[in-house]
Structure 1
Amino acid sequence: MSYKIQYAYTCSRGKVRKNNEDNFWVLGNYLERLNGGMATIVEGQVSQKTVPAFGVFDGMGGESCGETAAFLAADTFQQCYQEDEGECQDYVEEFLRNSCISMNNEVCRYAWEHRVDCMGATAALLVFGRTRIGVCNVGDSRVYQAYDGAFRQISKDHVARVNGNYKKAPLTQYIGLPEEEIRLIPYVVSGEYHEGDRFLICSDGLTDMLSDEEIAQIMGAYSEVKDAVFYLLQAAMGRGGRDNTTIILCELRAEKAEKWYRKF
């Protein structure tokens, strides 16, 4: 069976941050290096046969380095996707791992050339293959799946276990990790997809403001993906909007077979 993927996405600077250090990749669309986020929610649909991909990147580092790292990750993923030309549909996990390595090398190269001590970005990626979906993350941006009334995180947070009064635990993995110090190990899984499945990709601007239960409740209340994205963002902003927030929501819908009529 073939599917149409209904999607909607947005990227907000939030209420507190002066800069937007988030970026995304949706079917070849992403933001410029320096940007103020998006003022609207974009929606559309795409055939699963085209091997569509979606991604969220959350930059970190001062002096515009966070914006740069997130942009470089998105821009490098664009190159990886274009070079693959859809051949990854049967090996989505390998494609995602190789893409993370390429993104990591590019951010590390920039940091070395510009003598930047600390810059990086998280990544959360989704690729629809021929029969399976590939999911990948580095850092704490997340991917969730909603299906048959269930809601679960299918990414894995790369955060340190710490004792003490840390406001937020440090990341153990991120794009821009010098491999001579620590090996980059993306979390990569694949699984089946079915009609009605929803996949949410988001930065921690959403998950730091809302619990999984609250996210699931909002998503379950709205049948249209654009409405769900809108109210998820509104809820995060209502809690203070302390961080940049990027949200991508995809839903699988069965393609209707074309009807052919014989003319007599």
Structure 2
Amino acid sequence: MAEVSAHSHTVDLTRDRLELAWAAVTHTGRRREVNQDAVLAEFPLFVVADGMGGHIGGEIASASAVERLHAVADTGSVSTKAIEKALARAVKDIAARPEATDEATGTTVTGLFLDVSGAEASWVALNIGDSRVYLLRAGAIVQVTTDHSVVQELIASGRLSPEEAENHPYGNVITRALGPSESVTPDYVRLDVVDGDRFVICSDGLTKELTDFGIQHFLAEHPEPDAAVEAMLDAALENGGRDNISIVVVNVSRVPGP
């Protein structure tokens, strides 16, 4: 079984304090020989990258994206501008590797960071591809990001229902990815920082095996991030584990300041 990493961090805000706890895991799954996913879970940035491409192209693409974003996280100050610069550098890294320059090579880049640059702290979700960020707030789960996929475009145009999409033959075809040819700007969604919120960042290896309701169920059953991550991974593997599986769970608590 892949090792689950668990961490915590405290942030002093203007009027109160933010206590974060998170856990992360990445697993090859039951049917793939290699894991082309890469994960970054280091405050204030949490990212899942799902690589694709023949040979080792997908591994190179996802690792390059996470390595460049890790350098941004290490500064302790993350912004959309810094993320886009890091992704542009990752594109150059990928293009410099001959084994990763075919048209099929690329990676999703999906995640979340805490922005404390404004008067009020806020979360910013970012997305390229079909990995996802979910938010569990007040007992209801919502998908924060929108998939960049053929199936999602068919749903948006009314030509496909969400139920039909689950088994659509183009279910794995994405319309945007970070690859060796050009940098892609992520979509961003800004969110308030709310006490009790829980985030799930995951590759489609999880959502192929668990519905949104299933993700919500395991969050409800397991208040601690590491237990929730382990339970979701176990369930995804039991349901087939058809792809690489990466999961990050972040718990948010706002408490009175000192």
TM-score between the two structures when normalised by the length of structure 1: 0.78
- Given the alignment, which residue of 72, 86, 91 partners 1:80? 72
Deviations 1:202-243 (A, max 9, x none): 000100111111111221122111111111111101111111
Deviations 1:4-44 (A, max 9, x none): 111011111111111111111111xxxxxxxxxxxxxxxxx
Indicate yes or no: 2:58 matched with 1:12.
Answer: no
Deviations 1:46-95 (A, max 9, x none): xxxxx61111111111111111111111111123334xx2344xxx3333
Q: For the structure 1 residues 232 and 114, does the alpha-carbon distance in structure 2 shift closer, same or farther, using more than 3 Å as the test?
A: closer
Kept in 2: contact 1:93–1:189 (CA 8 A): no
- Structure 2 unaligned segments of length 5 or more: list them: 1-15, 161-167
Deviates more, 1:194-203 or 1:113-122: 113-122
What is the deviation of 1:99? 3.4
Alpha-carbon distance in 2 for matches of 1:255, 1:228: 23
Deviations 1:149-201 (A, max 9, x none): 1110111100124699625241111111623xxx7241112121111111110
Q: Which residue of 2 aligns with 1:234?
A: 234
Alpha-carbon distance in 2 for matches of 1:249, 1:166: 30
Q: Which residue of 1 aligns with 2:179?
A: 176
Alpha-carbon distance in 2 for matches of 1:177, 1:155: 24
Alpha-carbon distance in 2 for matches of 1:134, 1:106: 25
Aligned pairs for 1:167-206 (under 5 A) are 167-176=170-179, 178-179=181-182, 184-206=184-206
Q: Which residue of 2 aligns with 1:70?
A: 62
Indicate yes or no: 2:119 matched with 1:119.
Answer: no
Which amino acid is 1:213 matched to? Answer: F
Q: Which residue of 1 aligns with 2:247?
A: 247
TM-score between the two structures when normalised by the length of structure 2: 0.79
What is the deviation of 1:135? 0.8
Aligned pairs for 1:79-98 (under 5 A) are 79-82=71-74, 85-88=75-78, 92-98=79-85
Kept in 1: contact 2:200–2:247 (CA 8 A): yes
Indicate yes or no: 2:133 matched with 1:158.
Answer: no
**Identity within the alignment, %:** 29
Number of corresponding residues: 226
What is the deviation of 1:147? 0.7
Q: For the structure 1 residues 26 and 217, does the alpha-carbon distance in structure 2 shift closer, same or farther, using more than 3 Å as the test?
A: same
Alpha-carbon distance in 1 for matches of 2:55, 2:225: 35
What is the deviation of 1:114? 6.2
What is the deviation of 1:118? 2.8
- Structure 1 unaligned segments of length 5 or more: list them: 28-50, 259-264
Q: RMSD between aligned alpha carbons?
A: 2.3
Deviates more, 1:158-167 or 1:184-193: 158-167
Kept in 1: contact 2:72–2:83 (CA 8 A): no
Q: Which residue of 1 aligns with 2:123?
A: 133
SS in 1 for 2:97: helix
